[in-house]
Amino acid sequence: MSIAPSSSGTMKPSRGRPLLPIIIAIVCAFAILVLLYTETITFLSPTSIFKIKSCSRKHTVIKSNDKTAENNVDESLIDDRFEFDPEECNVANGKWVFNRSIKPFYSDISCPYLDRQVSCVKNGRLDSDYRHWEWQPEDCTLPRFNQELALKKLRNKRLLFVGDSLQRGQWQSLVCMVESIIPEDKKSMKPGRSHTVFKAKEYNATIEFYWAPFLVESNSDERIIGDPKQRILKVDSVSKHAKHWLGVDILVFNTYVWWMSGLRIKSLWGSFSNGEEGYEELDAPVAYRIGLKTWANWVDSTVNPNKTRVFFTTMSPTHTRSEDWNRKGGLKCFNETKPVMKKKHWGTGSDKRIMSVVNSVVGKMKVPITFLNITQISEYRIDAHSSIYTETGGRLLTKEERADPMHHADCIHWCLPGVPDTWNQIFLAHL
């Protein structure tokens, strides 16, 4: 302690000054701690500039603090979604946005290749809003479908859709989306019992469909057996079907709804010549796994990934239980006119056990498989099914049947034009 002489000559300790440096040091230390704490919170904040992103985004910075200037900025300039990249963008994460300006590329009257089963307008559906919803992924911008670009990508190629009637709907959708720009004498359709071929002659391209609802062989492939109890699957063989899949440049497979009868699957190993002897009844996910492994083994042993690209369309959801979207007393999908808006809505019509099987089997394959992940985006679309505007057994529903949607509304298939057009928009983006 410093000592200073007093005016009286006696020595006294000075007051005040020795405490000042200590107080300053304490204040500075406290300020530093506050600063460090604030920086830590900022770093962990979801809005922090240090936040790690899965992919790059477009950045638009508004420097002016003037609210008027900010409000005058075109919304498209502050859209921070990045351009579609199949390796980066989770297409399933997004929302349906109503856009009246969106016009389908075709109608069920203008396109001559649609089944009556999905021709809802022709069959009497009067509302049209279901045709004007646009899927917008949250992270990226999905390119609009371009007819000419699609045909150019298919030039000198064979594209084959393989699967059930939902896969046939996607095939019909794609054909109808491109056929209008092809002159009449430059296109052709060759129908077949199992294999149908649309040809764009000028592009030397074909868009084909092959009927194989289980992918593996069954006794319901050629002559459809309506009663699921009578169906028997040869879960260890695809050879009868697969000979039609050779020499194809782009293969798109699907199989789901035919497995979901609610019954155990009669599964056979070996030949059908033994009749019903030798089959086992398996739970659907178990039989599905065996059948999908048979398909996967064929792909891995036969397909050259340098020449052929393989896609798998995930399950198309059904909407037969209106309680799934809190419509108590509803009649399945009948009279629904808007999508479900609840984010991540998932109903009982999409079996997660089956999705798990697909992920497991495909994940172990040698040949790369590209998923067309259409399940979540289609889950919202309770408004877009054929409902009572369809046919059954080759005839339109009668007036009495239409009056009984609980038993006759089709909440499995989709009206065309409609949701499968968006599936093909995603498909073209992947190509």
244 is catalytic: no
Q: Tell me which of 218, 386, 413, 421 is the catalytic residue.
A: 413
Q: What is the 3-state secondary structure (H, E, C) of the chain?
A: CCEEECCCCCEEECCCHHHHHHHHHHHHHHHHHHHHHHHHHHHHCCCCCCCCCCCCCCCCCCCCCCHHHHHCCCHHHHCCCEECCCCCCCCCCEEEEECCCCCCCCCCCCCCCCCHHHCCCCCCCCCCHHHCEEEEECCEECCCCCHHHHHHHCCCCEEEEEECHHHHHHHHHHHHHHHCCCCHHHEEEECCCCEEEEEEHHHCEEEEEEECCCCCEECCCCCCCCCHHHCEEECCCCHHHHCCCCCCCEEEECCCHHHCCCCCEEEECCCHHHCCCCCEEECHHHHHHHHHHHHHHHHHHHCCCCCCEEEEECCCCCCCCHHHHCCCCCCCCCCCCCCCCCCCCCCCCCCHHHHHHHHHHHHCCCCCEEEECCHHHHHCCCCCEEECCCEECCEECCHHHHCCHHHHCEEEEECCCCHHHHHHHHHHHHC
Q: Tell me which of 132, 165, 195, 404 is the catalytic residue.
A: 165
132 is catalytic: no
- Encoded amino acid at 224, one letter: I
- Encoded amino acid at 162, one letter: V
- Encoded amino acid at 214, one letter: F
410 is catalytic: yes
**Annotated active-site positions, please?**
165, 410, 413
